Amino acid sequence: MPAAYIQANTNGRLHSAHEPSLSPLNRGFLYGDAVYEVWRTYHGVIFAWEEHWRRLERSAAALHFDLPAARATMLAEITRTVAAFRAEARFDGEVYIRLQVTRGGGSIGLDPALADRPDFVLLAQPCPAVSPE
C-alpha cells in the first residue's frame, strides 16, 4: 500500500515529501542544529498560530539563529503549502502542519558561523485522528 501523500515546501519550493530537498551538509542533519513547531487546523483554521510562532522565535533566539522569513511571509508559505496539499491529495479534512528550521548548510565544522543561511521545510498532511476516549 503506498504511503499517504505528504506535501513539502523547502525554502519556497513545493514538492512531495518523498523527494530529497536539503543537502546532507545541512547543519540540521549534521548536528541537529534546528528548531521546529507544529500546528493543526480546526475547521480549516490554524490553531494557536501566534502562540506557536512566538515559541518558534524564542527557540531560534535561544540557539542564536535567525528565522528564514518574517511571520507574515511564513504564514503565506504555510497557507500555500496547505492549499497545495489539499489540491494534490483531494483532502478537505483537518491538516497537521510541521515547520522545521535549520541554521543552514556550509562547511563541516562545529562553529555555527560556518552556516550560510537558515533553511526551512514545511510539511502538510492529514491530521491524525484522536480517539474520543
Per-residue confidence (pLDDT) for residue 2, from 0 to 100: 54
Give the residues across from 97 on adjacent strands: 39, 124
Which domains does the chain possess?
Answer: 7-126 (3.30.470.10)
Cell numbers for 11, please give them. Answer: 525554502
The tens place of each residue's pLDDT in the chain, 133 residues long, gives 456 899 999 999 999 999 999 999 999 999 999 999 999 999 999 999 999 999 999 999 999 999 999 999 999 999 999 999 999 999 999 999 999 999 999 999 999 999 999 999 999 999 988 778 7
- How big is the CA angle at 61 (ends 60 and 67), to the nearest 5 degrees? 45
> What is the predicted pLDDT for the residue at 88?
97
Radius of gyration of the chain (CA): 15
- Find out whether 7 and 14 touch, Cβ atoms under 8 Å: yes
Q: What is the pLDDT of residue 132?
A: 80
| Rounded-to-integer distance, Cα 114 and Cα 80, Å | 31
pTM given for the model = 0.93
Neighbour tally for 63: CB within 10 Å: 12
Residue 87 and residue 64: Cα distance in Å, rounded? 37
Cβ burial, residue 32 (10 Å; 0-12/13-18/19+): exposed
User: What values do phi and psi take at 43, rounded to 5?
Assistant: 55, 35
